[in-house]
Amino acid sequence: MELIEYADVDMLMIQLANKIAGQLRESLQSEDFATLAVPGGTTPGPMFDSLCAAELDWSRVKVMLTDERWVPETSDRSNTRLIKERLLTDRAAAATHLPLFAEGGTAEEKLPEVAGPIEANLPLSVCLLGMGADMHTASIFPGADRLNDALTGTDTLYPMRAPGAPEPRITLSAHVLNNAMRRHILIIGQEKREALEKARHLSPQEAPVASILQGTTVHWADK
Ligand SMILES: O=C1O[C@H](COP(=O)(O)O)[C@@H](O)[C@H](O)[C@H]1O
């Protein structure tokens, strides 16, 4: 794991967007398509605001979430809504969105429908993850019902229900996240920095983020 500390949050968001845009361009030099996975939640919005304006051939980029809350897009909790409003806009509107949510059923029922297009576009060229103060990443939560499957299984996606998550989830597995060609984590503030340090000495069952730290660049700034 490499940790990059930035002078402030604005600097982090701009420089991380530049880094990801550069890595997508690099992928597009040798591949027909590049696949980008991004987190939801409250942290990455300002980074999306920069990345969406990057000059690159977005028509050859496929964008997916690392995880989704099983709520309709009308909900403020929808990660899909976040990326539609803040990432899949401006130049990045030309990208193809691979949804992690489908209306009309539970995560378990809709999983095969959602997994097909995702699986056709793996491995991920660039994977950006978030992390909660409870050391979850994507929607791989401590204490979750499918925690062990998501950490050790070879399926692409797992439905997930966890005490720390207010709604059912669907998440990319640690297997998929670890097979990404380039991997980053974006975290802000002292609480998450301390959680990250703690996670480095815990098992993935206790601190799911520990399962994907090897080879990952962590981008951090204080609030
Ligand atoms: O629920 C989620 O939480 C994590 C962290 O979110 P944040 O609001 O603390 O930034 C996020 O990475 C994940 O995608 C999201 O579904």
Cα 127 to averaged position of ligand 1 atoms, centre (Å): 14
Which CATH code, of 3.30.450.20, 3.90.76.10, 3.40.50.1360, 2.60.40.10, is assigned to 2-221? Answer: 3.40.50.1360
User: Best substitution site from 48, 79, 219 to test ligand 1's pocket, by max atoms within 8 Å of Cβ?
Assistant: 79
ipTM value for the complex: 0.99
pTM for the complete prediction? Answer: 0.98
Query: pLDDT tens digits, residue range 5-51?
Result: 999 999 999 999 999 999 999 999 999 999 999 999 999 999 999 99
Residue-range domain boundaries for the chain: 2-221
What's the rounded Cα separation, in Å, for the pair 143 and 147?
A: 7
Cα 66 to averaged position of ligand 1 atoms, centre (Å): 10
What's the rounded Cα separation, in Å, for the pair 31 and 60?
A: 9
Cα 29 to averaged position of ligand 1 atoms, centre (Å): 31
Task: Find the helix or strand (DSSP H, E) in which 159 lies.
Answer: strand 157-160
What's the rounded Cα separation, in Å, for the pair 125 and 113?
A: 22
